[in-house]
Structure 1
Protein backbone atom coordinates (compact mmCIF):
# COMPACT_ATOMS: atom_id res chain seq x y z
CA UNK A 1 0.00 0.00 0.00
CA UNK A 2 1.27 3.49 -0.84
CA UNK A 3 1.89 5.85 2.05
CA UNK A 4 -0.69 8.16 0.46
CA UNK A 5 -3.56 5.69 0.49
CA UNK A 6 -5.09 6.61 3.84
CA UNK A 7 -5.74 9.91 5.56
CA UNK A 8 -7.29 11.04 8.79
CA UNK A 9 -8.99 14.29 9.78
CA UNK A 10 -7.20 17.54 8.89
CA UNK A 11 -4.97 19.13 11.52
CA UNK A 12 -3.98 22.81 11.56
CA UNK A 13 -5.55 23.34 8.17
CA UNK A 14 -3.64 20.52 6.49
CA UNK A 15 -4.56 16.97 5.58
CA UNK A 16 -2.56 14.75 7.93
CA UNK A 17 -1.40 11.43 6.50
CA UNK A 18 -1.67 8.33 8.67
CA UNK A 19 1.61 6.60 7.80
CA UNK A 20 4.73 5.12 9.27
CA UNK A 21 7.17 8.10 9.38
CA UNK A 22 10.17 5.90 8.60
CA UNK A 23 8.47 4.37 5.57
CA UNK A 24 7.34 7.80 4.42
CA UNK A 25 10.90 9.17 4.71
CA UNK A 26 12.40 6.13 2.97
CA UNK A 27 10.02 6.44 0.01
CA UNK A 28 10.75 10.15 -0.26
CA UNK A 29 14.53 9.57 -0.13
CA UNK A 30 14.32 6.99 -2.91
CA UNK A 31 12.31 9.42 -5.03
CA UNK A 32 14.67 12.31 -4.34
CA UNK A 33 17.80 10.32 -5.20
CA UNK A 34 16.16 9.21 -8.44
CA UNK A 35 15.30 12.78 -9.36
CA UNK A 36 18.89 13.95 -8.75
CA UNK A 37 20.25 10.96 -10.68
CA UNK A 38 18.21 11.95 -13.75
CA UNK A 39 19.36 15.55 -13.44
CA UNK A 40 23.01 14.47 -13.26
CA UNK A 41 22.76 11.75 -15.91
CA UNK A 42 25.60 11.52 -18.44
CA UNK A 43 23.82 13.89 -20.81
CA UNK A 44 21.31 15.41 -18.39
CA UNK A 45 20.70 19.09 -17.75
CA UNK A 46 23.83 19.47 -15.64
CA UNK A 47 25.92 18.45 -18.66
CA UNK A 48 24.74 21.40 -20.81
CA UNK A 49 27.68 23.64 -21.72
CA UNK A 50 25.86 26.34 -23.70
CA UNK A 51 22.57 27.65 -25.05
CA UNK A 52 22.89 28.80 -28.66
CA UNK A 53 20.12 30.61 -30.55
CA UNK A 54 19.96 29.98 -34.29
CA UNK A 55 19.21 32.54 -36.98
CA UNK A 56 19.24 32.72 -40.77
CA UNK A 57 22.86 33.88 -40.51
CA UNK A 58 25.23 30.87 -40.35
CA UNK A 59 27.03 30.76 -36.99
CA UNK A 60 29.64 28.68 -35.18
CA UNK A 61 29.46 27.98 -31.45
CA UNK A 62 31.96 26.89 -28.78
CA UNK A 63 32.02 23.16 -28.15
CA UNK A 64 29.82 22.55 -31.18
CA UNK A 65 31.00 21.32 -34.60
CA UNK A 66 30.02 22.92 -37.90
CA UNK A 67 28.13 26.03 -38.94
CA UNK A 68 24.49 26.33 -37.93
CA UNK A 69 21.48 28.23 -39.27
CA UNK A 70 17.72 28.03 -39.51
CA UNK A 71 15.11 29.15 -42.00
CA UNK A 72 11.90 28.06 -43.76
CA UNK A 73 13.24 24.52 -44.29
CA UNK A 74 14.29 24.21 -40.65
CA UNK A 75 17.62 23.73 -38.89
CA UNK A 76 20.70 23.10 -41.02
CA UNK A 77 24.28 22.28 -40.07
CA UNK A 78 27.29 22.43 -42.42
CA UNK A 79 29.99 20.12 -41.07
CA UNK A 80 33.68 20.54 -41.79
CA UNK A 81 35.43 17.86 -43.81
CA UNK A 82 36.26 14.89 -41.61
CA UNK A 83 33.57 15.78 -39.04
CA UNK A 84 30.56 13.56 -38.57
CA UNK A 85 27.48 13.35 -36.38
CA UNK A 86 25.28 10.40 -35.53
CA UNK A 87 21.58 11.27 -35.86
CA UNK A 88 18.93 8.62 -35.23
CA UNK A 89 21.63 5.95 -35.52
CA UNK A 90 22.86 7.20 -38.90
CA UNK A 91 26.20 8.86 -39.60
CA UNK A 92 25.85 12.24 -41.33
CA UNK A 93 28.56 14.35 -42.97
CA UNK A 94 28.68 17.63 -44.84
CA UNK A 95 25.33 19.42 -44.97
CA UNK A 96 22.56 17.95 -42.83
CA UNK A 97 18.99 19.20 -42.69
CA UNK A 98 17.27 18.57 -39.35
CA UNK A 99 14.09 20.06 -40.74
CA UNK A 100 11.38 22.04 -38.99
CA UNK A 101 11.30 21.09 -35.31
CA UNK A 102 7.96 21.36 -33.47
CA UNK A 103 7.68 23.50 -30.34
CA UNK A 104 9.00 21.77 -27.19
CA UNK A 105 10.46 18.98 -29.30
CA UNK A 106 14.05 18.17 -30.14
CA UNK A 107 16.51 15.91 -31.93
CA UNK A 108 19.76 14.60 -30.46
CA UNK A 109 22.94 14.47 -32.55
CA UNK A 110 25.95 12.64 -31.12
CA UNK A 111 29.45 14.07 -31.60
CA UNK A 112 32.01 12.00 -29.73
CA UNK A 113 31.22 12.29 -26.01
CA UNK A 114 28.94 15.26 -26.65
CA UNK A 115 25.23 15.14 -27.42
CA UNK A 116 23.90 18.15 -29.33
CA UNK A 117 20.28 18.88 -28.47
CA UNK A 118 18.65 20.57 -31.47
CA UNK A 119 15.31 21.90 -30.28
CA UNK A 120 12.66 24.60 -30.42
CA UNK A 121 11.73 26.67 -27.37
CA UNK A 122 9.41 29.65 -27.37
CA UNK A 123 9.33 29.64 -31.17
CA UNK A 124 13.14 29.76 -31.43
CA UNK A 125 15.47 27.07 -32.74
CA UNK A 126 18.35 26.32 -30.38
CA UNK A 127 21.38 24.07 -30.04
CA UNK A 128 22.52 22.92 -26.60
CA UNK A 129 25.66 20.79 -26.35
CA UNK A 130 25.74 18.34 -23.45
CA UNK A 131 29.13 17.05 -22.32
CA UNK A 132 29.45 14.71 -19.32
CA UNK A 133 32.73 16.35 -18.28
CA UNK A 134 31.05 19.72 -17.68
CA UNK A 135 32.08 20.97 -14.20
CA UNK A 136 28.48 21.64 -13.15
CA UNK A 137 27.78 17.93 -13.51
CA UNK A 138 31.16 16.73 -12.24
CA UNK A 139 30.89 18.81 -9.05
CA UNK A 140 27.20 18.12 -8.34
CA UNK A 141 26.62 17.16 -4.69
CA UNK A 142 22.87 16.70 -4.73
CA UNK A 143 19.95 19.03 -4.12
CA UNK A 144 19.24 20.33 -0.60
CA UNK A 145 15.67 19.84 0.56
CA UNK A 146 13.39 20.14 3.55
CA UNK A 147 13.01 17.01 5.65
CA UNK A 148 10.00 15.05 4.41
CA UNK A 149 6.92 15.59 6.55
CA UNK A 150 3.50 13.93 6.02
CA UNK A 151 1.71 17.13 7.08
CA UNK A 152 2.58 18.59 3.66
CA UNK A 153 0.51 15.95 1.86
CA UNK A 154 -2.94 17.40 1.17
CA UNK A 155 -6.03 16.21 -0.64
CA UNK A 156 -7.58 18.55 -3.19
CA UNK A 157 -9.99 18.50 -6.09
CA UNK A 158 -9.38 18.99 -9.77
CA UNK A 159 -11.82 21.26 -11.60
CA UNK A 160 -11.72 21.11 -15.38
CA UNK A 161 -12.34 24.20 -17.47
CA UNK A 162 -15.11 24.13 -20.07
CA UNK A 163 -12.36 24.42 -22.69
CA UNK A 164 -8.57 24.29 -22.24
CA UNK A 165 -7.28 27.83 -21.74
CA UNK A 166 -4.22 28.88 -23.75
CA UNK A 167 -1.97 30.41 -21.09
CA UNK A 168 1.09 32.52 -21.87
CA UNK A 169 3.85 32.45 -19.27
CA UNK A 170 7.30 33.94 -19.07
CA UNK A 171 10.54 31.99 -19.08
CA UNK A 172 13.84 31.88 -17.24
CA UNK A 173 15.35 33.47 -20.36
CA UNK A 174 14.48 37.16 -20.57
CA UNK A 175 12.13 37.97 -23.46
CA UNK A 176 11.11 34.36 -24.06
CA UNK A 177 7.52 33.20 -23.63
CA UNK A 178 5.83 29.81 -23.53
CA UNK A 179 2.18 29.05 -24.31
CA UNK A 180 0.50 26.06 -22.69
CA UNK A 181 -3.08 24.84 -22.68
CA UNK A 182 -4.39 24.78 -19.11
CA UNK A 183 -7.07 22.07 -18.83
CA UNK A 184 -8.21 23.05 -15.34
CA UNK A 185 -7.20 24.02 -11.83
CA UNK A 186 -6.52 22.27 -8.54
CA UNK A 187 -8.27 23.55 -5.39
CA UNK A 188 -6.99 22.65 -1.90
CA UNK A 189 -6.55 23.99 1.63
CA UNK A 190 -3.39 25.05 3.46
CA UNK A 191 -3.20 26.88 6.79
CA UNK A 192 -6.96 27.21 6.86
CA UNK A 193 -7.10 28.92 3.47
CA UNK A 194 -8.72 27.65 0.29
CA UNK A 195 -6.17 28.02 -2.49
CA UNK A 196 -5.99 27.05 -6.14
CA UNK A 197 -3.36 26.53 -8.81
CA UNK A 198 -3.82 26.58 -12.56
CA UNK A 199 -2.74 23.18 -13.89
CA UNK A 200 -0.97 22.16 -17.08
CA UNK A 201 -0.80 18.68 -18.58
CA UNK A 202 1.97 16.54 -17.12
CA UNK A 203 4.44 14.29 -18.92
CA UNK A 204 2.54 11.08 -18.09
CA UNK A 205 -0.93 10.75 -19.66
CA UNK A 206 -3.56 12.09 -17.28
CA UNK A 207 -1.07 13.64 -14.87
CA UNK A 208 -0.88 17.35 -14.07
CA UNK A 209 1.94 19.83 -13.64
CA UNK A 210 1.63 22.68 -11.14
CA UNK A 211 4.10 25.55 -11.50
CA UNK A 212 4.03 27.85 -8.49
CA UNK A 213 5.85 30.16 -6.13
CA UNK A 214 5.11 30.83 -2.46
CA UNK A 215 6.37 32.80 0.51
CA UNK A 216 9.59 30.74 0.64
CA UNK A 217 10.51 31.59 -2.98
CA UNK A 218 13.72 33.58 -3.09
CA UNK A 219 14.32 32.88 0.61
CA UNK A 220 14.88 29.16 1.02
CA UNK A 221 13.50 27.92 -2.31
CA UNK A 222 14.37 28.97 -5.85
CA UNK A 223 12.87 32.36 -6.62
CA UNK A 224 11.59 31.89 -10.16
CA UNK A 225 9.54 28.72 -9.98
CA UNK A 226 8.74 25.47 -8.24
CA UNK A 227 7.20 22.40 -9.83
CA UNK A 228 4.82 19.77 -8.47
CA UNK A 229 3.59 16.74 -10.42
CA UNK A 230 0.12 15.45 -9.52
CA UNK A 231 -1.01 11.99 -10.52
CA UNK A 232 -4.17 11.41 -12.55
CA UNK A 233 -7.24 12.71 -10.65
CA UNK A 234 -9.72 10.17 -9.34
CA UNK A 235 -13.16 9.71 -10.93
CA UNK A 236 -14.58 12.36 -8.58
CA UNK A 237 -11.71 14.78 -9.25
CA UNK A 238 -9.82 13.98 -6.06
CA UNK A 239 -6.08 14.63 -6.24
CA UNK A 240 -3.22 14.27 -3.79
CA UNK A 241 -0.65 17.05 -3.57
CA UNK A 242 2.58 15.98 -1.88
CA UNK A 243 4.51 19.21 -1.49
CA UNK A 244 7.45 17.18 -0.16
CA UNK A 245 7.98 16.37 -3.83
CA UNK A 246 8.01 19.95 -5.05
CA UNK A 247 11.08 20.18 -7.27
CA UNK A 248 13.38 22.69 -8.86
CA UNK A 249 13.26 23.05 -12.61
CA UNK A 250 16.59 22.91 -14.50
CA UNK A 251 16.91 26.72 -14.53
CA UNK A 252 17.52 26.54 -10.78
CA UNK A 253 20.89 24.92 -11.57
CA UNK A 254 21.96 26.28 -14.95
CA UNK A 255 21.56 29.46 -16.97
CA UNK A 256 21.30 27.30 -20.11
CA UNK A 257 17.67 26.30 -19.45
CA UNK A 258 14.50 27.88 -20.87
CA UNK A 259 12.10 26.86 -18.08
CA UNK A 260 8.59 28.33 -17.90
CA UNK A 261 7.56 30.62 -15.08
CA UNK A 262 4.31 30.06 -13.17
CA UNK A 263 1.14 31.84 -14.27
CA UNK A 264 0.55 35.05 -12.29
CA UNK A 265 -2.30 33.45 -10.35
CA UNK A 266 -0.07 30.63 -9.07
CA UNK A 267 1.65 32.67 -6.36
CA UNK A 268 0.65 31.07 -3.04
CA UNK A 269 0.35 33.45 -0.07
CA UNK A 270 1.65 30.82 2.37
CA UNK A 271 5.13 29.45 3.07
CA UNK A 272 5.37 25.91 1.71
CA UNK A 273 8.34 24.69 3.75
CA UNK A 274 8.60 21.40 1.91
CA UNK A 275 10.37 19.99 -1.11
CA UNK A 276 13.61 21.04 -2.74
CA UNK A 277 15.49 24.13 -1.64
CA UNK A 278 17.80 26.53 -3.50
CA UNK A 279 20.57 24.43 -5.10
CA UNK A 280 24.13 24.68 -3.81
CA UNK A 281 25.04 25.94 -7.29
CA UNK A 282 23.10 29.16 -6.60
CA UNK A 283 24.79 29.90 -3.28
CA UNK A 284 24.35 29.05 0.40
CA UNK A 285 20.94 29.12 2.09
CA UNK A 286 20.52 29.74 5.82
Structure 2
Protein backbone atom coordinates (compact mmCIF):
# COMPACT_ATOMS: atom_id res chain seq x y z
CA UNK A 1 0.00 0.00 0.00
CA UNK A 2 1.44 3.41 -0.95
CA UNK A 3 0.48 7.07 -0.60
CA UNK A 4 1.82 7.38 2.97
CA UNK A 5 0.75 10.61 4.66
CA UNK A 6 1.07 12.24 8.03
CA UNK A 7 -1.58 11.47 10.62
CA UNK A 8 -1.92 15.22 11.19
CA UNK A 9 -4.40 17.36 9.21
CA UNK A 10 -3.04 19.15 6.15
CA UNK A 11 -2.57 22.92 6.29
CA UNK A 12 -5.04 23.46 3.44
CA UNK A 13 -7.03 20.26 2.83
CA UNK A 14 -9.68 21.99 0.74
CA UNK A 15 -7.01 23.59 -1.44
CA UNK A 16 -5.39 20.18 -1.91
CA UNK A 17 -8.79 18.79 -2.86
CA UNK A 18 -9.22 21.55 -5.48
CA UNK A 19 -5.84 20.55 -6.92
CA UNK A 20 -6.89 16.89 -6.97
CA UNK A 21 -10.07 17.86 -8.83
CA UNK A 22 -8.08 19.72 -11.49
CA UNK A 23 -5.62 16.84 -11.88
CA UNK A 24 -8.50 14.41 -12.13
CA UNK A 25 -10.05 16.42 -15.00
CA UNK A 26 -6.71 16.43 -16.80
CA UNK A 27 -6.28 12.66 -16.38
CA UNK A 28 -9.79 11.88 -17.61
CA UNK A 29 -9.27 13.84 -20.84
CA UNK A 30 -5.72 12.62 -21.55
CA UNK A 31 -5.00 10.55 -24.70
CA UNK A 32 -5.31 7.33 -22.68
CA UNK A 33 -7.68 8.61 -20.01
CA UNK A 34 -11.02 7.05 -19.13
CA UNK A 35 -12.88 9.15 -21.71
CA UNK A 36 -10.54 8.08 -24.51
CA UNK A 37 -11.29 4.34 -24.39
CA UNK A 38 -13.43 3.52 -27.43
CA UNK A 39 -12.99 -0.25 -27.75
CA UNK A 40 -11.85 -3.27 -25.74
CA UNK A 41 -11.41 -6.34 -27.95
CA UNK A 42 -10.81 -9.85 -26.58
CA UNK A 43 -9.27 -12.68 -28.60
CA UNK A 44 -9.75 -16.46 -28.48
CA UNK A 45 -7.61 -18.44 -26.03
CA UNK A 46 -4.06 -18.85 -27.25
CA UNK A 47 -4.06 -15.78 -29.49
CA UNK A 48 -1.61 -12.97 -28.70
CA UNK A 49 -2.68 -9.83 -30.58
CA UNK A 50 -0.10 -7.39 -31.94
CA UNK A 51 -0.79 -3.82 -30.81
CA UNK A 52 1.46 -2.26 -33.45
CA UNK A 53 -0.25 -4.18 -36.24
CA UNK A 54 -3.66 -3.19 -34.91
CA UNK A 55 -2.55 0.45 -34.78
CA UNK A 56 -1.55 0.53 -38.46
CA UNK A 57 -3.74 2.69 -40.68
CA UNK A 58 -5.57 4.38 -37.83
CA UNK A 59 -5.59 8.15 -37.14
CA UNK A 60 -2.71 9.70 -35.22
CA UNK A 61 -5.05 10.28 -32.28
CA UNK A 62 -5.40 6.52 -31.68
CA UNK A 63 -3.28 4.53 -29.21
CA UNK A 64 -3.47 0.73 -28.91
CA UNK A 65 -2.42 -1.16 -25.78
CA UNK A 66 -2.57 -4.79 -24.66
CA UNK A 67 -4.25 -6.30 -21.60
CA UNK A 68 -4.95 -9.70 -20.07
CA UNK A 69 -7.65 -11.31 -17.93
CA UNK A 70 -8.73 -14.77 -16.77
CA UNK A 71 -11.57 -16.55 -18.55
CA UNK A 72 -14.34 -17.08 -15.98
CA UNK A 73 -15.24 -20.50 -17.42
CA UNK A 74 -11.90 -22.11 -18.25
CA UNK A 75 -9.60 -20.21 -15.89
CA UNK A 76 -7.19 -19.73 -18.79
CA UNK A 77 -5.60 -16.37 -19.62
CA UNK A 78 -7.23 -14.26 -22.33
CA UNK A 79 -5.42 -11.53 -24.23
CA UNK A 80 -6.95 -8.39 -25.62
CA UNK A 81 -6.43 -4.94 -27.08
CA UNK A 82 -7.65 -1.55 -25.99
CA UNK A 83 -8.16 1.25 -28.48
CA UNK A 84 -7.90 4.81 -27.17
CA UNK A 85 -8.76 7.92 -29.17
CA UNK A 86 -7.61 11.36 -28.01
CA UNK A 87 -10.40 12.80 -30.17
CA UNK A 88 -13.16 10.49 -28.95
CA UNK A 89 -16.77 11.75 -28.87
CA UNK A 90 -16.74 11.46 -25.08
CA UNK A 91 -13.72 13.77 -24.79
CA UNK A 92 -15.17 16.28 -27.24
CA UNK A 93 -18.46 16.49 -25.33
CA UNK A 94 -17.11 16.23 -21.79
CA UNK A 95 -17.68 19.23 -19.53
CA UNK A 96 -16.90 18.19 -15.94
CA UNK A 97 -17.56 15.76 -13.12
CA UNK A 98 -20.04 17.15 -10.62
CA UNK A 99 -19.04 16.73 -6.98
CA UNK A 100 -20.32 17.42 -3.50
CA UNK A 101 -18.78 20.39 -1.70
CA UNK A 102 -15.70 19.58 0.35
CA UNK A 103 -16.72 18.30 3.79
CA UNK A 104 -14.06 17.63 6.46
CA UNK A 105 -16.55 15.42 8.32
CA UNK A 106 -16.04 12.80 5.62
CA UNK A 107 -12.29 12.47 6.30
CA UNK A 108 -12.34 9.31 8.41
CA UNK A 109 -9.60 7.37 10.17
CA UNK A 110 -9.86 3.59 10.25
CA UNK A 111 -7.95 0.60 11.57
CA UNK A 112 -6.07 -1.59 9.09
CA UNK A 113 -5.31 -5.20 10.03
CA UNK A 114 -3.17 -7.19 7.57
CA UNK A 115 -4.02 -10.85 7.05
CA UNK A 116 -1.42 -13.58 6.41
CA UNK A 117 -1.16 -15.12 2.98
CA UNK A 118 -2.71 -14.04 -0.30
CA UNK A 119 -6.38 -13.83 0.66
CA UNK A 120 -8.75 -13.30 -2.25
CA UNK A 121 -12.32 -12.02 -2.16
CA UNK A 122 -14.83 -12.47 -5.02
CA UNK A 123 -15.97 -9.22 -6.65
CA UNK A 124 -18.80 -9.09 -9.15
CA UNK A 125 -17.91 -7.07 -12.26
CA UNK A 126 -20.27 -4.89 -14.24
CA UNK A 127 -19.89 -6.74 -17.57
CA UNK A 128 -19.65 -10.33 -16.29
CA UNK A 129 -23.39 -11.09 -16.09
CA UNK A 130 -23.27 -11.95 -12.40
CA UNK A 131 -19.92 -13.74 -12.50
CA UNK A 132 -17.21 -12.90 -9.98
CA UNK A 133 -13.45 -12.43 -10.18
CA UNK A 134 -11.20 -13.02 -7.19
CA UNK A 135 -9.15 -9.98 -6.15
CA UNK A 136 -6.40 -9.96 -3.52
CA UNK A 137 -7.55 -8.25 -0.29
CA UNK A 138 -4.45 -8.15 1.96
CA UNK A 139 -6.16 -6.82 5.10
CA UNK A 140 -9.32 -5.66 6.82
CA UNK A 141 -10.33 -2.02 7.25
CA UNK A 142 -12.55 -1.44 10.27
CA UNK A 143 -14.34 1.75 11.28
CA UNK A 144 -17.58 3.01 12.78
CA UNK A 145 -19.82 5.30 10.72
CA UNK A 146 -22.97 6.81 12.20
CA UNK A 147 -22.97 4.25 15.01
CA UNK A 148 -22.58 1.21 12.78
CA UNK A 149 -19.42 -0.93 12.59
CA UNK A 150 -18.00 -1.86 9.20
CA UNK A 151 -15.27 -4.25 8.07
CA UNK A 152 -14.38 -3.18 4.55
CA UNK A 153 -12.56 -5.10 1.81
CA UNK A 154 -10.16 -3.02 -0.30
CA UNK A 155 -8.21 -4.88 -2.96
CA UNK A 156 -4.59 -4.48 -4.00
CA UNK A 157 -4.31 -2.25 -7.08
CA UNK A 158 -0.63 -2.22 -8.06
CA UNK A 159 0.51 -1.67 -4.48
CA UNK A 160 -2.29 0.67 -3.40
CA UNK A 161 -5.50 -0.35 -1.67
CA UNK A 162 -8.60 0.48 -3.71
CA UNK A 163 -11.97 0.54 -1.97
CA UNK A 164 -15.05 -0.11 -4.10
CA UNK A 165 -18.04 1.08 -2.07
CA UNK A 166 -21.74 1.67 -2.40
CA UNK A 167 -24.26 3.84 -0.57
CA UNK A 168 -27.87 5.04 -0.97
CA UNK A 169 -26.83 7.90 -3.29
CA UNK A 170 -25.94 5.39 -6.06
CA UNK A 171 -28.31 5.66 -8.99
CA UNK A 172 -29.60 9.02 -7.77
CA UNK A 173 -26.98 11.71 -7.22
CA UNK A 174 -23.96 9.42 -7.78
CA UNK A 175 -22.91 6.71 -10.23
CA UNK A 176 -25.24 3.72 -10.04
CA UNK A 177 -22.66 0.94 -9.72
CA UNK A 178 -20.81 2.52 -6.79
CA UNK A 179 -17.67 4.60 -6.46
CA UNK A 180 -13.94 4.06 -5.91
CA UNK A 181 -11.62 5.44 -3.22
CA UNK A 182 -7.88 5.00 -2.77
CA UNK A 183 -7.01 4.16 0.83
CA UNK A 184 -4.20 6.32 2.20
CA UNK A 185 -1.66 5.26 4.78
CA UNK A 186 -0.68 7.27 7.85
CA UNK A 187 2.49 7.24 9.95
CA UNK A 188 0.95 4.37 11.93
CA UNK A 189 1.02 1.07 9.99
CA UNK A 190 -2.32 0.08 11.50
CA UNK A 191 -4.18 3.31 10.74
CA UNK A 192 -5.43 4.41 7.36
CA UNK A 193 -7.29 7.45 6.07
CA UNK A 194 -10.51 7.30 4.09
CA UNK A 195 -11.04 10.75 2.60
CA UNK A 196 -14.42 10.33 0.93
CA UNK A 197 -14.07 13.80 -0.58
CA UNK A 198 -11.80 11.99 -3.05
CA UNK A 199 -14.29 9.25 -3.87
CA UNK A 200 -14.45 9.06 -7.64
CA UNK A 201 -16.60 7.76 -10.47
CA UNK A 202 -15.11 4.46 -11.71
CA UNK A 203 -13.77 4.17 -15.27
CA UNK A 204 -16.97 2.44 -16.43
CA UNK A 205 -18.80 5.70 -15.70
CA UNK A 206 -16.96 7.26 -18.65
CA UNK A 207 -16.78 4.39 -21.14
CA UNK A 208 -18.76 1.16 -21.48
CA UNK A 209 -15.56 -0.55 -22.63
CA UNK A 210 -14.38 -1.01 -19.02
CA UNK A 211 -15.32 -3.94 -16.78
CA UNK A 212 -15.36 -2.43 -13.28
CA UNK A 213 -15.65 -4.32 -9.99
CA UNK A 214 -18.81 -3.64 -8.01
CA UNK A 215 -19.05 -3.18 -4.25
CA UNK A 216 -19.50 -6.41 -2.27
CA UNK A 217 -22.09 -6.47 0.48
CA UNK A 218 -19.62 -5.59 3.25
CA UNK A 219 -18.63 -2.41 1.38
CA UNK A 220 -22.15 -0.94 1.23
CA UNK A 221 -22.87 1.87 3.68
CA UNK A 222 -26.31 2.29 5.22
CA UNK A 223 -26.26 6.10 5.05
CA UNK A 224 -25.69 8.43 2.09
CA UNK A 225 -22.03 9.29 1.53
CA UNK A 226 -22.52 12.87 0.39
CA UNK A 227 -18.89 13.53 -0.45
CA UNK A 228 -16.69 13.10 -3.50
CA UNK A 229 -17.64 12.89 -7.15
CA UNK A 230 -21.24 12.55 -8.28
CA UNK A 231 -21.63 12.04 -12.05
CA UNK A 232 -19.92 13.11 -15.29
CA UNK A 233 -21.58 15.96 -17.18
CA UNK A 234 -21.52 16.11 -20.99
CA UNK A 235 -22.50 18.87 -23.42
CA UNK A 236 -24.98 18.82 -26.31
CA UNK A 237 -27.03 15.91 -24.98
CA UNK A 238 -24.19 13.41 -25.23
CA UNK A 239 -24.39 10.46 -22.85
CA UNK A 240 -21.83 7.74 -22.23
CA UNK A 241 -23.58 4.37 -22.63
CA UNK A 242 -23.13 1.77 -19.89
Q: What SS does the aligned partner of 1:37 have?
A: helix
- The whole-number CA distance in structure 2 between the counterparts of 1:227 and 1:251 is 11
| Larger RCO, structures 1/2 (Cα 8 Å, 6+ apart) | 2
Residues 1:118 and 2:66 aligned together:
yes
Count, aligned residues = 225
Shift of 1:128: 2.1
Unaligned runs of 5+ in 2: 72-77
Residues 1:40 and 2:14 aligned together:
no
Shift of 1:3: 9.1
Other-structure match for 1:29: 18
Shift of 1:126: 2.4
Unaligned runs of 5+ in 1: 7-18, 56-70, 86-109
- The whole-number CA distance in structure 2 between the counterparts of 1:143 and 1:3 is 28
Residues 1:209 and 2:183 aligned together:
no
Q: What SS does the aligned partner of 2:185 have?
A: coil
Q: What SS does the aligned partner of 2:25 have?
A: helix
* Range moving further from structure 2, 138-147 or 171-180: 171-180
Residue pair 1:168, 1:178 contacting (<8 A) in 2 also: yes
Other-structure match for 1:228: 181
Residue pair 1:185, 1:198 contacting (<8 A) in 2 also: yes
Q: Tell me the TM-score normalised to structure 2 length.
A: 0.82
RMSD: 2.7
Residues 1:75 and 2:53 aligned together:
no
Equivalent residues in 2 for 1:83-232 (5 A)? 84=56, 112-123=60-71, 124-175=78-129, 177-203=132-158, 205=159, 207-232=160-185
Aligned to 2:42, which of 53, 56, 71? 53
- The whole-number CA distance in structure 2 between the counterparts of 1:129 and 1:236 is 40
- The whole-number CA distance in structure 1 between the counterparts of 2:218 and 2:67 is 29
